[in-house]
Amino acid sequence: MSSMSGDADPGESRGPERIAAAVPLPSRVTFNRLELNRILNLYGRMVAAGEWRDYAIDFLKDKAVFSIFRRASEVPIYRIEKDPRLARKQGIYSVISAGGLILRRGHELERVLLVIDRKLAVV
């Protein structure tokens, strides 16, 4: 009785693996360490000021979303989105209010987050 590995052609056993490797898996958009650090620094200051209480992070197929809540049971008051499809157009980052209004868009996260930072300074 011979073993199956000796009878099978090595190319045949890797056929499905080769096909799976050729088809790219859907990647997810994420925030990198520096982006997340900047967002969480802002979040920490706003929690210390008593403005925000909870957050959620969603890594979707086409964008990454950091949602900020005043209370956990409500809709997010702000959404910070990273959408790579808009990188060459309006900017990869955007801050969106609870009503869906885009407060600011841009190519640099620091400048986009100023729309939220300035509201803290005004109060």
Rounded Cα distance between 9 and 68, Å, is 56
Rounded Cα distance between 46 and 63, Å, is 24
pLDDT band at 25 (very low <50, low <70, confident <90, very high): very low
Q: Is residue 17 part of a domain?
A: no
∠ CA(28), CA(29), CA(32), 5° rounding? 125
Q: What is the mean pLDDT of the chain?
A: 80
Q: Is residue 8 part of a domain?
A: no
**Neighbour tally for 52: CB within 10 Å:** 21
Share of the chain above pLDDT 70, in %: 73
Q: Is residue 116 part of a domain?
A: yes
Q: Is residue 90 part of a domain?
A: yes
Q: Is residue 108 part of a domain?
A: yes
User: For 61-75, what is the mean pLDDT?
Assistant: 87
Domain of residue 62 covers 33-122
Which whole-number Å values give the CA distances from 112 to 9, 20, 57, 80, 101, in the listed order? 57, 39, 18, 9, 14
**What is the H or E stretch that residue 57 is in?**
strand 54-59
Domain count, the chain: 1
pLDDT tops 60 at residue 19: no
Q: Is residue 15 part of a domain?
A: no
pLDDT tops 60 at residue 123: no
Say if CB 87 and CB 107 are below 8 A apart.
Answer: yes
pLDDT at 9: 52
pLDDT single digits (tens) 75-114: 899 999 998 888 888 889 999 998 899 999 999 999 999 9
Q: Is residue 14 part of a domain?
A: no
pLDDT tops 90 at residue 12: no
Q: Is residue 13 part of a domain?
A: no
